[in-house]
Each structure stands twice: as C-alpha cells, then as structure tokens.
Structure 1
Amino acid sequence: MGARMSMNNQSCNEFFDASQSEARKRQRTSSSSLWDETARLIPYLPDEISIQILARLPRICHFNAKLVSRTWRAALTSKEVYQVRKELGKTEAWLYVLTKLSGEKLVWHALDPVNGAWLQLPPMPSIDGFRRGLRLWNMVGSSIIGDTLRSWIRRRDASDNIPYCGCAIGAVDGCLYVVGGFFRASAMKSVWRFDPILNSWSEVAPMSVGRGYCKIGVLNNKLYVVGGVTWDPVGLTPLQSAEMYDPCTDTWTKLPSMPFLKAQVLPTGFLSDLLKPMATGLTSYAGKLYVPQSLYCWPFFVDVGGEVFDPVMNTWNEMPDGMAEGWPARQAGTKLSVVVDEALYALDPSGSPDRVRIKVYDNGEDAWKTVGVDVPMRDIGDSDSPYLLTDCFGKLHVIAKDVNRNIVVVQADWRNQYGSGPSTSSGSFGDHLVNGLASSEEVWKVIATKNIGSSELVSCQILEI
C-alpha cells in the first residue's frame, strides 16, 4: 500500500508540475499577447489607423494625451502625426507672445485662439556660462555713437546684465527662433530654437557675427536677419550686413550688405559721425524683403527711406519713395508691419490718446492710406512695446497691454462688414474700408485676454501645427 501511495503521490506531483508548467506557459503567452496589444497606440487597431485618430486631436489635448502611455508620447512627439495633420487639414494656428518680466526675465505665453486657452512655455535656456566680456562702459570708447548707445543701454535698466537683451524673434518651419541679443557686454551670435512638438529649446548653428536689436523676417521658408548693432575694437557699431538661415540644413549664408545709399549723402563728416544708419523694420512682401531705414543718434531717429532685397537677383534696391516716406514709425523709430492676405499693414500710434490707427499700403499708387476704423484700445505711451501686429486665420490682429495689465488680443474682421479686405491694386482699393463706414466695435473683436502684471510685451509670432 505504501508503494501504491508513493506511486500515486508521484503521479500527483508529476501532474502538479505539468499543470504548473502549462500555467506558466499560458501566462507567458497571455503576457506576450497583452504586451503586443499594449505596444500598439490603441489596442487591437493598426497603428496607421491610430495615427489618423491622434492627428485629429486638438493640440490643447496633446499635453494630457502624452500622459496616456509611452507609445502615445512617442507618437505625439514625432513628425508623423503632424504630417498627417497637414494632409487632413487639421493644423492649428497658435499665437506665441514674448514678455519681459521686471526688466530681467523673458517669458513666453502661448494662446490657443479657438479655445481661448493660455499656456506658458518652458523657460528659455540659461546662458550664465556664456563668455564674459569686459564691461560695456570700458569697451565703447569715446566715439559719439558709443556715447549715445551707452546712454541708451544705461537708460534701459543696465541691460548688459540681462540675457537675450535686444534679441530678435522669428518663426519658420513650425518653430520659434530667438536670435542674438546682448549679454554681459557682448553681442551674441547664438540662435535658439523652440520646437512646440517636443516642447523644448535647443541651440542651432550660430550667426556669422554677434548682433543685438537686429531685424528678422521669413521668405521662402528661410530666416533672414539684417542690421542690428555689434561691438568691435572701437566700440558699439551699427551693422549693414545681412545673412540667411536655412532650417533644413542648419546653415547660415552671408548676403550682400545693405548699401544705405541715402545715408551716404550727408553734407558733412560731422553728421556722418553723429548719425549712424540703422534698419528699423523688416517685412516680407510680394516675394521680397522690405527694410525701412533711419539715421540714428540717441534719442533721435531720422527716416532716410529704405531698401529692398531681391532673393532671386541677390541684390539690394531702393525702396519706392511713397512706401518709404509714409511708413508709420513708433518708439525708437521702429516700423511695425504685417502682411495679411497679400496686403501690407502698418501700425500708426500717432492718433488720439485712446485710439491707434492702421494704415495699408496701396502698391498701385505707392502710398499709405489710413484704414478708417481705429483700433479701440488705449495708447500706452510709457511702455517699450505697447502694440504688436500679427496675421492669424488670414486676419489682422493687434496685441497690446491695457491699463489693467492684461494682454489684449483684438481681431479685425472687415470681411464680415464689406465682403473683402482692402485691395492693393490701384483700381479698387476698398474705399469703403478706408473711409470708415463701420464703427470700430463692428470691425474689431477682443478674442483673448491674460493678466501679465508688470511684464512688458516684446514680440509675437504665429505657429501653425
């Protein structure tokens, strides 16, 4: 009996071992099957279909969607989903606004204009390790331009200690670019790119020369940088040079320098030393770069026309007289402009205290004409940058800071009032709009606000993703 029990126990043990082995095998198979399914973006669906679904998600949902799984995060930080968004016509235009906090720190805010939601971008990279130069006051020498620029920088709260002071902002190929600026008495060559897909900053190829307060524009999916100021052995010096950045190859190409022909006809050598030519604006219009120019001696700016760069011929030519002479100017000689629906608009803050005017350029007549519908916004004269212009959804937008310390984004919609915007042809210029047959409340609409406290507006860009 003992032998029989032993044999039965052995059989039971063999059965138990076999059952355990089979169970482990089934568990491994089940786990493998489960892993195969969870490795997909959406279980039991091919990834090709899942990509189509993710591409239809509004961008505002992407931040939470990235938390679903590692596979979702990988998909939403890849180019594939965003390429499908373009193919499906699901791209969204967001407004990115750069502000300066307490005169020291730059902070980016992103607006989803459809949902009215504001988000804050990651901080810009620290450049504390950037090469330190000598103090600005010991570098600029005794030249007149050095003295005037030195007083300018002193006026701007000792900004040689502020990172990115005087940087230029551009947007191309779905990314933001922060170009140059001053830090610790040196003009920086560095260029930083913000990728909204990765939600991160990275450094790209530097410019050929350090620049601060340069002008920046986009043409043919390339970034153009002109003018600005830098420093050389004799002090701070305005620049006439220009260069182009190709985001596809991460390379810079030098362009012919701006001739500044009108600046060369000054009657005396004294005026030539006193007044230095500066690029005070840049806009991409009709396939060319238009650069209004001024002669500068702080705090004075004297307009001297402008020049046009033809990328096909790789040459500079003089700007049409009517465009150059009538281009509205604002603080520090800066000329704000934007192209909307092939029409060139500029901002003229010289109206009444509680209004700001918009002008549009008539290419046929070579003249600027005032749009008869003022922006219903208080003129804040003591701010460095009270107004910004941009194009979003094919409509003109004005961004300003109101008396309650809010960013206010107002949208112009004259299509709804007149059926079309102002034409730039000489035959039909949209006289109904220029003559102002509608009230400002009928044309301008506030689409978003955000309190930014004591911060000041610096720049804005539109990214469509």
Structure 2
Amino acid sequence: MGSVMSLNCSSRSRTPILNEGSSNESCKRQKICSSYEGENNRLIPRLPDELSIQILARVPRICYFNARLVSRKWKSAFTSSELYCLRQELGKTEEWLYVLTKDQENVFLWHALDPVSAKWQRLPPMPDIVCEEESRRSFSGLWNVVSPRMKVAEILRSWFGRKDRPEKLPFCGCAFGAVDGCLYVLGGLSKSCTANSVLRFDPVLNKWNEVSPMLESRAYSKTGILNNKLYVVGGINHGRGGFSPLRSAEVYDPSANAWSEVPSMPFSKAQVLPNAFLAGLLKPVATGMSSYNGRLCVPQSLYSWPFYVDIGGEVYEPETNSWIEMPIGMGEGWPARQAGTKLSVVVDGELYGFDPPPSSMESGNIKVYDQKEDTWKVVIREVPVSDLPQSESPYILAGFHGKLHFITRDFNGKITVLRADLRESSSSPSSGPYPFAGSRSFREKTDLPNTTDTVVWKVIAAKDFGAAELVSCQVIDL
C-alpha cells in the first residue's frame, strides 16, 4: 500500500517536469510547422506574394507551361488575370504567332510559336460541335425509323456509329480572329450546312470553349479587329435556294460575350454590270479585310467559279457606323492571291499586300499602300515562295514585333517563318537582335526602282509538319 502510494507520488512529482519538456517541444514544433506552412502558402519561400508575382511576371511565356506544374499555388498564379495585367503594365508582354494546319484527314491543329526562342507548342484540339441544321435533319430521320418495340438507346447507339453521321467542327471555310488575348474560330461549312458557332481559345487557361454564336450562319467570311472588338463581314450562307453570298456584318464584344448587328456592306460597283446575264452570273463577295487607320477596309470581287473580277471595295467607319466606297487606287490595285483572295497585313500603321507570282518560274512581290497618292508601290520584289497550286494557303503574311513576316510551306511540308530585314540594318551592330523593318522607314528606304538588294529574308523558325497544309495564322500579345 505504501509502496504504491510512494510510486504514485513519485510519478506525480515527475509529471510536471515531463509536461514542461513536452510542452516546449510541442511549442517548437508548432512554430516550425506554422512557419513551414506559411512558407508553403507563399509563391516563393521567404518572399511576400506581392514581390513574387512581380518576379513571375518577368518570366518568359515559354516557361509558363512547365511552371504551372510546380504547385497548385503556381498554377493559380500563372492562370490569373492579375499576372497578365501586370505584364502589360511592365511592358513585358510577348507576341506569339499561332499557325493553323490541316492534315490529310482534314484534322485542324493550332501551333503556337515563340519567335524569341523559336520553340513551338501544340494547342489542345478544338472541341467537336455538331452543326445544328445537319443534326436536326439527322434526328428527324432517326425518329422516323423508331418503332414502339425498339429501344431509343439502341437506336442512338447505332445511329451515332454510322459513317454518314453529321460532320463536326472544325468545318472548312471557318473564319479566324484574335482579340482581347484570345483566339477565335467562327462559323464554317459542313456538307450543305453553314454554322454560326464560335470557339474561343484562352492561352492563359490553355483551353477551348464555346461562346455566344453569331447572329447569322456563315462560311468563308472575313474578320477584322477595331477598338478591341471582332467584326465579321460577308461570306456565304445556305438557304432554301442553295448557297448565296452575304452582305451582312456583325460585331462581337468579348467583354460582354455578345454580338450586335452592323449595317450590311454595300457593293456599289456591282450594280454597274453591262447586262442582266452577268449580274445574275457573277455574285459579289468580300475577298479580304484589313483594319487600317481605324477603319475596316474590305476589298470586293464578283465571283462565278472559277472566275473573279475585282470591283474595288468598301470601307467601314465605326464612328458613323456606316460604309463608304473605297478609294479607287486602293481597291483596283489591291494585290490578289489565287482564287481572288487578298492577302494583306498592317504593320506599324502601314498596309502591305502580297502580289503572288504569275508562274512557278517567277517570284512574287510585296506592295505597300501609299494613302497620299492612292496607289500601291512595290517594296520587295523577290519573295521566297513555293508554288503549291493544290494548297489552300501556301503562304501567309503576318506582322509582329513591329516587323513584316512571310510564312510559307515548301514541297517537303516544312513551314518556315521569315522576317523581312533591311540589309543595312541587319549588319549594323547597334540595331539589336531585331533589325528595324516593316515600318514607314522601311517603306521609305526601300522605295527604289529595284529593292532586291536592300531586303534580306531571315528565317526565325521552321518546323516539319509533314503532309499538313498551311491554313491561317493569328498573332496574340500576352
């Protein structure tokens, strides 16, 4: 009894000492854990997040994809609007080129190019969207074959397994645009169906999604950007009488995710055809669009496959919300690609157009529009093109980093991005890594009888895409 009591007393006497030690250790562990958790909750250990985000905003975009894998905190930071707004404030945004290709199975894929590192990244595939008109036709046929003894699930399974099921996006004849840091794919054509659907790719989230559809279904329409809004003009539409050209126009506001109507585009010179036969045979179509001097310039042609007749164009004035006739020299001299398409781009306020070679033995040239004289002048007489008549777009003009670029695909499937540099600037050590080209000074310095010796084409990136064709390109600054 006594021994037990003494044991209990001795135990109690040691208890405060043990509790004191354990409490000290516990406090230390809590401090360490809380400090560790605090460090873990920060983007960069021992740095405030406000300072860390300043550092991350200066990281090149090419590193962002791998940087997202560091932690959930980093992924959240690299997909936040705060980071990209800060990049813009700091002047650290980067212009990337987005190139669209089409393989032999008519699968469309987008590829992003960082011109600084010359590295390519493939975008996620565009989602499939069933054309509503084709879908209605297909399902009307579906319900006609359903009998009371047949299970609907079995019918759906067999129907969607058919090879002649409705085709899905991407269709042919889509239009493309880039506004507010996102890439857009609009409309298109599938069988006898034109679509009004709009897909948007967000490079920040690296994700496609469907946004508000256009007011009208259309394919082969033209797009342009004004005041951070996406304009869509013309194209073709499928109605009861078959395909017909469109004169309608509409505008998309990305901040509101909404479309609104724009006055229909007139075809002033289409009304002066000599007889009713030609008027019925040749259909007016928009064959290009460029945002130039705060207005939309839309060259036009009269079309009846395989014939095209250029008829000038129209200019949209956003301030008055109206169309005016394009200056005669601009419309009549606008360089044209095969099939009547006008290939043009605005770089540093100057409007450039590509005049393709008349034969495979000759080189094309690039012209610039002189607004004062209302005429087009040749600034580059030899452009390295490959004659690929079977290709939809064997070459494309683009403008980024303040320079004029030419994108071409050769016979071996290699897509090459070239930059037009002034030879004298490219050899100057003070000109920096990107010699000045594609601007007013470029036009003035190359306004010579023969400009072959003043311009050098520099390859900034190339990639072998095999049998894939070059379709289109866009530029996004983030």
Q: Note whether the superposition's TM-score is higher than 0.5.
A: yes
- Structure 2 matches for 1:87-106, cutoff 5 A? 87-106=89-108
The residue aligned with 2:462 is: 449
- Find the partner of 2:382 among 362, 371, 374: 374
1:303 aligned onto 2:310:
yes
Render the CA deviation track for 1:72-122: whole Å, top value 9, x for unaligned: 110110011111111211111111001111152110001011001010001
1:338 Cα shift? 0.4
Q: Does the 8 A contact of 2:423 with 2:453 survive in 1? A: no
Q: Does the 8 A contact of 1:283 with 1:337 survive in 2? A: yes
Mark the CA change 1:198 to 1:422 in structure 2 (over 3 Å): closer, same or farther.
closer
- Find the partner of 2:43 among 41, 44, 61: 41
The residue aligned with 2:210 is: 203
The residue aligned with 1:436 is: 450
Mark the CA change 1:126 to 1:350 in structure 2 (over 3 Å): closer, same or farther.
same
- What amino acid does structure 1 have at the position aligned with 2:450? G
- Structure 2 matches for 1:341-360, cutoff 5 A? 341-351=348-358, 353=360, 355-360=363-368
Name the SS for the 1:127 alignment partner: coil
The residue aligned with 1:163 is: 170
- What amino acid does structure 1 have at the position aligned with 2:394? P
Q: Does the 8 A contact of 2:230 with 2:251 survive in 1? A: yes
1:448 Cα shift? 0.6
Q: TM-score, normalised by structure 1?
A: 0.88
The residue aligned with 2:115 is: 113
Name the SS for the 1:430 alignment partner: helix
Separation in structure 1 between the aligned mates of residue 385 and residue 439 of structure 2, nearest angstrom = 25
**Runs of 5+ consecutive residues of structure 2 not aligned to the other structure:** 139-165, 427-434
- Structure 2 matches for 1:222-241, cutoff 5 A? 222-241=229-248
Separation in structure 1 between the aligned mates of residue 317 and residue 424 of structure 2, nearest angstrom = 35
Name the SS for the 2:52 alignment partner: helix
1:420 Cα shift? 7.0
Separation in structure 1 between the aligned mates of residue 168 and residue 256 of structure 2, nearest angstrom = 33
Mark the CA change 1:203 to 1:437 in structure 2 (over 3 Å): closer, same or farther.
closer
Separation in structure 2 between the aligned mates of residue 27 and residue 38 of structure 1, nearest angstrom = 16
- Structure 2 matches for 1:373-392, cutoff 5 A? 373-392=381-400
- Find the partner of 2:407 among 389, 399, 403: 399
Q: Does the 8 A contact of 1:193 with 1:204 survive in 2? A: yes
1:30 Cα shift? 2.9
Mark the CA change 1:130 to 1:40 in structure 2 (over 3 Å): closer, same or farther.
farther
Separation in structure 1 between the aligned mates of residue 423 and residue 325 of structure 2, nearest angstrom = 34
- Find the partner of 2:261 among 242, 251, 254: 254
Moved more, 4-13 or 187-196: 4-13
- Find the partner of 1:265 among 266, 272, 297: 272
Name the SS for the 2:196 alignment partner: coil
Mark the CA change 1:287 to 1:166 in structure 2 (over 3 Å): closer, same or farther.
same
Separation in structure 1 between the aligned mates of residue 336 and residue 56 of structure 2, nearest angstrom = 46
Separation in structure 2 between the aligned mates of residue 201 and residue 343 of structure 1, nearest angstrom = 33
Render the CA deviation track for 1:321-354: whole Å, top value 9, x for unaligned: 1111111111221101001121111111125525
- Find the partner of 2:347 among 340, 344, 349: 340
- Structure 2 matches for 1:118-137, cutoff 5 A? 118-128=120-130, 130=132, 132=135, 134=137
1:192 Cα shift? 1.2
Moved more, 294-303 or 17-26: 17-26
Question: How many pairs align?
Answer: 439
Name the SS for the 2:385 alignment partner: coil
The residue aligned with 2:5 is: 3
Separation in structure 2 between the aligned mates of residue 397 and residue 105 of structure 1, nearest angstrom = 26
Separation in structure 1 between the aligned mates of residue 18 and residue 375 of structure 2, nearest angstrom = 95
The residue aligned with 2:422 is: 414
Render the CA deviation track for 1:284-319: whole Å, top value 9, x for unaligned: 111111101111112221111111111111111111
Separation in structure 2 between the aligned mates of residue 262 and residue 129 of structure 1, nearest angstrom = 35
- Find the partner of 2:249 among 235, 242, 246: 242
The residue aligned with 1:325 is: 332
Mark the CA change 1:24 to 1:184 in structure 2 (over 3 Å): closer, same or farther.
farther
Separation in structure 1 between the aligned mates of residue 19 and residue 449 of structure 2, nearest angstrom = 94
The residue aligned with 1:275 is: 282
- What amino acid does structure 1 have at the position aligned with 2:374? D
Separation in structure 1 between the aligned mates of residue 438 and residue 462 of structure 2, nearest angstrom = 28
Separation in structure 2 between the aligned mates of residue 347 and residue 107 of structure 1, nearest angstrom = 25
The residue aligned with 2:150 is: none
Separation in structure 1 between the aligned mates of residue 440 and residue 56 of structure 2, nearest angstrom = 41
**Runs of 5+ consecutive residues of structure 1 not aligned to the other structure:** 136-158
- Structure 2 matches for 1:1-80, cutoff 5 A? 1-12=3-14, 15-16=17-18, 19-20=21-22, 23-24=25-26, 26-80=28-82
Separation in structure 1 between the aligned mates of residue 330 and residue 440 of structure 2, nearest angstrom = 13
Mark the CA change 1:450 to 1:424 in structure 2 (over 3 Å): closer, same or farther.
closer
Render the CA deviation track for 1:160-211: whole Å, top value 9, x for unaligned: 6663321111111111111111235321111111111111112221110011
Q: Does the 8 A contact of 2:197 with 2:210 survive in 1? A: yes
Name the SS for the 1:180 alignment partner: strand
Q: TM-score, normalised by structure 2?
A: 0.86
Separation in structure 2 between the aligned mates of residue 114 and residue 331 of structure 1, nearest angstrom = 32
1:39 Cα shift? 0.7
Moved more, 82-91 or 46-55: 82-91
1:291 aligned onto 2:305:
no
Mark the CA change 1:375 to 1:179 in structure 2 (over 3 Å): closer, same or farther.
same
1:416 Cα shift? 4.4
Separation in structure 2 between the aligned mates of residue 112 and residue 12 of structure 1, nearest angstrom = 70
- What amino acid does structure 1 have at the position aligned with 2:263? P
1:461 aligned onto 2:461:
no
- What amino acid does structure 2 have at the position aligned with 1:369? K
Separation in structure 1 between the aligned mates of residue 131 and residue 277 of structure 2, nearest angstrom = 41
1:10 Cα shift? 4.0
